[in-house]
Chain A
């Protein structure tokens, strides 16, 4: 099973993929409206907001966690 290189989400169904294109390595949540992949900064902001919104973490702690998570993902690995 493919995993999104930018956020780690498993991608099984066609609609999980960016623009429903199964040849893509990233998911629909990591795509911009035009289908291209979001930048590091866009993804970091999105992930931080999501963590704060759904888990209630402190913003700085949430951003720190998001940075840590992203470091492990293929798209952002140094």
Chain B
């Protein structure tokens, strides 16, 4: 990679990182790109030199989030890990970007179709890893047999409800650190044989 390309990639990462922070604070729809530029310490024009449209920037940020969340799950799911562990890793991945994820799930209906597809892609990566482990444990009679979609949506439904209503469940801090272990325990009670 040439020095110029290296610098370009570095600036791109700085913008993505700043956008992460700004979208987490101000929301995915309402945060102006000018405030991303300010936080990144670059000119407004630089943002558009890297991301032609605001949606491109948002997509890149969501993709980055997806990679970070699913990376560790990917490593684990192929090994001998169990359901409890994979659920814990899913939560841990989200908890590092909890504010961003809350914005993401709360604003999904308002997002552009392309961006929605990126989110489905992330959830597909998550469901891929969860169901890989689940099918293995169903086979071994460790957990109950059930439709994979219902199992996955029951899990997401549970955590998303708490996350989307953070002001009611954990007004002062992280919902996941406060309830995460309880969700995992409850879910394991539901699915275990």
Which residues of chain B have C-beta atoms less than 8 A from A68's C-beta?
A: 113-114, 116-117, 120
Binding site for B on A (CB under 8 A): 8-10, 12-13, 15, 47, 50-57, 65, 68-69, 72
Bound Cα distance A68, B120 (Å):
10
Which residues of chain A have C-beta atoms less than 8 A from B42's C-beta?
A: none
Which residues of chain A have C-beta atoms less than 8 A from B148's C-beta?
A: 53-54
Q: Which residue from A10, A55, A57 sits with its C-beta under 8 Å from B71? A: A10
**Known: A10-B67, A65-B117. Is A54-B127 also a contact (CB below 8 A)?**
yes
Q: Which residue from B70, B149, B153 sits with its C-beta under 8 Å from A52? A: B149
* A-B pairs with lowest CB-CB distance, top 3: A56-B149, A68-B117, A54-B127
A-B pair number, CB within 8 angstroms: 58
A54 and B120 contact, CB distance less than 8 A: no
Indicate whether B131 reaches chain A with its CB closer than 8 angstroms: yes
A56 and B150 contact, CB distance less than 8 A: yes
Q: Which residue from A8, A9, A53, A69 sits with its C-beta under 8 Å from B120? A: A69
Q: Is the interface of B mostly helix, strand, loop or mixed?
A: helix
Residue from B74, B78, B121, B125 whose CB has the most chain A CB atoms within 10 Å:
B121
A6 to chain B, nearest CB (A): 13
Indicate whether B152 reaches chain A with its CB closer than 8 angstroms: yes
**Known: A54-B131, A56-B153. Is A69-B74 also a contact (CB below 8 A)?**
no
A51 and B67 contact, CB distance less than 8 A: no
Bound Cα distance A72, B118 (Å):
9
B117 and A51 contact, CB distance less than 8 A: no
Bound Cα distance A68, B70 (Å):
20
Docked complex: B98-123 residues within 8 A CB-CB of A: 113-114, 116-118, 120-121, 123
Indicate whether B5 reaches chain A with its CB closer than 8 angstroms: no
Bound Cα distance A13, B149 (Å):
28
Q: Which residue from B70, B74, B124 sits with its C-beta under 8 Å from A54? A: B124
Closest Cβ neighbor of A15 among chain B residues: B78
B120 and A51 contact, CB distance less than 8 A: yes
Closest Cβ neighbor of B79 among chain A residues: A13
Bound Cα distance A13, B79 (Å):
11
B59 to chain A, nearest CB (A): 8
Bound Cα distance A10, B117 (Å):
18
**Known: A10-B67, A65-B117, A69-B117. Is A55-B128 also a contact (CB below 8 A)?**
no
Indicate whether B75 reaches chain A with its CB closer than 8 angstroms: yes
Bound Cα distance A23, B7 (Å):
28
Given A54-B152, A68-B116: 18 more A-B contacts, CB < 8 Å: A9-B74, A10-B70, A10-B74, A47-B124, A50-B128, A54-B124, A54-B127, A54-B128, A54-B130, A55-B123, A55-B127, A55-B152, A55-B153, A56-B147, A56-B149, A65-B116, A68-B120, A72-B117
